Amino acid sequence: MAGNDHIPTAPTDVIGDDGDLRRMRDALRAGKNVTLAPDGAVYISPTRPTR
Amino acid sequence: MTDDAETFIESKLGRVVEMARMGYGVSVHPDGSISADRADHRAKVLIDPDPALSEQQMLLIDQGIGEGALIRVHSDGRLEYFLPLDSRQSGEQAAQMRVAVKQEIDSGRLQEEMRNGHTLSVEPDGTIGYETSGPTPTPIEFPEDVQWGHEALLTADQLAAEAHALEIGASAARGLARDEYETDLGMAAMQRDAVAREHAAADARALDADRQVAEKQGVARELKNQRQQAERDATVARNTGDTAMAEERAEDWARLNIEARVADQQAVGAQSAAADARVQAANAKARLEQRDADIATVHARSERQERAFDEQEDQARVYRQAADEMREAERLDEAYTDLEARGVADADRVKEAAAAHRARAEELRTTAEEFDAVDPIDPIGSVPSPMVEPAQPTLAPPGWAPGTPGGFFGADEFSDAVPAALSDEVTFVAEETTQDLALIEDSAVIDDSAVIEDSAVIEDSAVIDDFSVIDDVAMIEMPDAAFLADEATIAYTDRADQQTDDPYEAEVPDTFEV
């Protein structure tokens, strides 16, 4: 997988912690899309974005 | 999200987190598909639960070939796209690559290689081949919420088991709490006693120093009287021509002068020791109060714990009553079934009795469950450990008066004053604060514009009025040991005749008032 030497991210330990995973779990079980971002945030969207 | 989709997502969750930490925004969809796009859009990943390549994956492969990107299709179905900064691709080579890739897919060779743990690699230079797939991150399960409480207790056995568990829990917790209570109380009490001894010792040192002050002052006065007498005797002898006597008395004067100075130094030393002892006594008293508070805290915590354990035992008792009622209902239900099967008359009365017992059991169960309305996590709360040494005051607080709770300058008058605010240039203004090492004790009164500097100590019934100034190591004590010490000065705009630099000429009587 392509690495990253120039994209800024939040400290790795705060990305995908238990709180993030719980929010993702709840949103997915509610039928929503979730995005785990490199800034450490979890974004929830109601519809499937265009890929 | 279906259970299958959740299982699939959990199998990729480690990869999701890893990609986000590498700068990708990773979108997860309830159907299990995952798409990741790095912030510079030069790296993308598509994952799909369908083993066959999805339409989106096919489109990305086509796009990547056209742009000169590196494409990898891993054995776990993950498609990677990476576009180098210097990417270039000719239309003719791209067309050939598309045909080759389509052939791998259509022939089934790609699926076969993927099943064998191989990755299809499509290089920008047109190379297409297979390589062994790398390791995949460990799957992660979504964390589940912590569940409190328990399922509804419906049978007699369940109710009895709950009662038993509560009884055992209360008993065990009570035992542990009692051990903790003994340890904490013992430690707090021992520390309190040690501080009480320090307090008593400091008080005793202060009293002994006071006694020394009085004693040395008396000695100094007597020596000065003798010195004056020796001076007078020498003068008389000199005037009468008795040279030998004059020299003898002059020698006596010199000796007495030395002894008087030593006595002065002893008195000053004793005064300083008394002041130090009183500061130590004040500090010890503050610590003593803290230790008393620690003991009270230990008692209060123990009482709260005992109440909590009692409540748990009460709850167990109610559960047990509910279990008894439910057991009787179950017994009657069985009896009813048997009676009904045998066609016994009035069997319905048994059924009604069973229903009554069941209703009572449910009522008791509801009552027992209401005990859980209290936060089960920390009904006791926490208290500071008596093992923790409290901060030690370095100076007696302003207005503190040893032996007289609250003192004349009570907390109400100087509640805002703190030792840290003290400075060398002490100024007392009516209803203001004290500074430096000054101690104001008992019924001393300091009125408008009074100024006290350095190590002044004012005790007992001293009264200092308007415009008074006390410098250096001045000490005024009442009733018996009141005096002004080394180089003390009292200046009064209306009583200038009472200014003095000599401590022993400034001795004040019991009713000292300026």
Closest CA to B78 of B103, B56, B100: B56
pLDDT confidence bin for B146, thresholds 50/70/90: low
The ipTM estimated for the assembled molecules is 0.89
Chain B hits for A49, CB-CB cut-off 8 Å, are 27
pLDDT score of B380: 41
Q: Do A51 and B46 touch (CB under 8 A)?
A: yes
Cβ–Cβ below 8 Å for B22 and A3: yes
Nearest to B27 among A2, A33, A38 (CB): A33
Closest CA of chain B from A27, distance in Å? 9
* Dihedral sign of CA atoms B213, B215, B219, B221 in order: positive
Q: Among B28, B60, B146, pick the best mutation site for testing chain A contact (most A Cβ within 10 A).
A: B28
Q: Does pLDDT of B387 surpass 70?
A: no
**Contact between residue B82 and residue B90 where contact means Cβ atoms under 8 Å apart:** no
Q: Is the pLDDT of residue B400 over 60?
A: no
- Which among A2, A16, A37 has CB closest to B43? A2
B399 three-state secondary structure = coil
State whether residue B145 sits within 8 Å of chain A by CB. Answer: yes
Burial class, B269, CB count within 10 angstroms (exposed 0-12 / middle 13-18 / buried 19+): middle
DSSP B73: E
pLDDT in tens, B17-32: 999 998 899 999 998 9
Question: For the segment B182-237, what is each residue's pLDDT rounded down to a tens digit?
Answer: 999 999 999 999 999 999 998 899 899 889 989 999 999 999 999 999 999 999 99
Q: Which of B37-41, B134-138, B244-248, B442-446 has the highest mean pLDDT?
A: B244-248
B27 touches A: beta carbon within 8 Å: yes
Q: Burial letters for B370-395: b for 16+ Cβ neighbours within 10 Å, e otherwise?
A: ebeeeeeeeeeeeeeebeeeeeebeb
CA-to-CA distance for B328 and B353, rounded, in angstroms? 9
| Weakest-pLDDT range from B111-115, B328-332, B428-432, B468-472 | B428-432
pLDDT at B149: 66
- The predicted pLDDT at position B148 comes to 63
Rounded Cα distance, B152 and A32, in Å: 32
Q: Is the dihedral of CA B156, B162, B166, B169 positive or negative?
A: positive
Query: What percent of chain B is predicted at pLDDT more than 90?
Result: 36
* Residue A25 with chain B: CB contacts under 8 Å: 142-143
pLDDT at B385 over 60: no
Tell me which of B22, B60, B133, B146 to substitute to probe the interface with A (most A C-beta atoms closer than 10 Å).
B22
Q: Is B80 on the interface with A (CB under 8 A)?
A: yes
Inter-chain CB proximity A33 and B45 less than 8 Å: no
| A2: chain B residues, CB-CB within 8 Å | 38, 42-43, 70, 80, 82
Q: Do B22 and A24 touch (CB under 8 A)?
A: no
| β-bridge partners, B132 | B118
Mean pLDDT of B50-77: 88
Q: Is the pLDDT of residue B486 over 80?
A: no
- A50 to chain B, minimum CA–CA distance in Å? 10
Query: Is the pTM higher than 0.95?
Result: no
- pLDDT band, residue B70 (cuts 50/70/90): very high
Higher pLDDT, residue B321 or B482: B321
Q: Average pLDDT in the B40-47 region? A: 90
B464: helix, coil or strand? strand
Kindly tell me if the per-residue pLDDT of B428 is higher than 70. no
Position B374 scores a pLDDT of: 53
* Residue B136, number of CB atoms within 10 A of its CB: 15
- Say whether B140 and A4 touch across the interface (CB within 8 A): no
Enumerate the residues of chain A whose CB falls inside 8 A of the CB of residue B56: 51
Q: Does the CB of B377 have a partner CB in chain A at under 8 Å?
A: no
Query: Mean pLDDT, to the nearest integer, of A10-14?
Result: 86
Q: What strand order describes the sheet that includes B118-122?
A: A42-45, A33-36, B24-28, B34-38, B43-47, B79-82, B70-73, B118-122, B128-132
* Chain A residues with beta carbon closer than 8 angstroms to that of B17: 15-16, 36
Residue of B21, B59, B63, B123 best to disrupt the A interface, most CBs of A under 10 A:
B21
Q: Do B30 and A9 touch (CB under 8 A)?
A: no
Q: Is B80 helix (H, G, I), strand (E, B) or coil?
A: strand
Token reading at B122? 């499509």
pLDDT confidence of residue B326? 96
Size of interface A-B (CB pairs under 8 A): 91
B142 vs A25, A35, A48: nearest CB: A25
Among candidate residues B374, B370, B377, B378, the one with its CA nearest the CA of residue B318: B370
CB-nearest to A24 from B22, B24, B28 is B28
Please, what is the angle between helix B243-341 and helix B347-370, to 10°?
Answer: 160
* Predicted pLDDT at B147: 63
Segment B24-42 shows an average pLDDT of: 90
The tens digit of pLDDT for each residue in B332-358 reads: 999 999 999 998 888 899 999 999 999
Of the pLDDT bands very low, low, confident and very high (cuts 50, 70, 90), residue B139 is: confident
Chain A residues with CB-CB distance to B23 below 8 A: 4, 7-9, 38
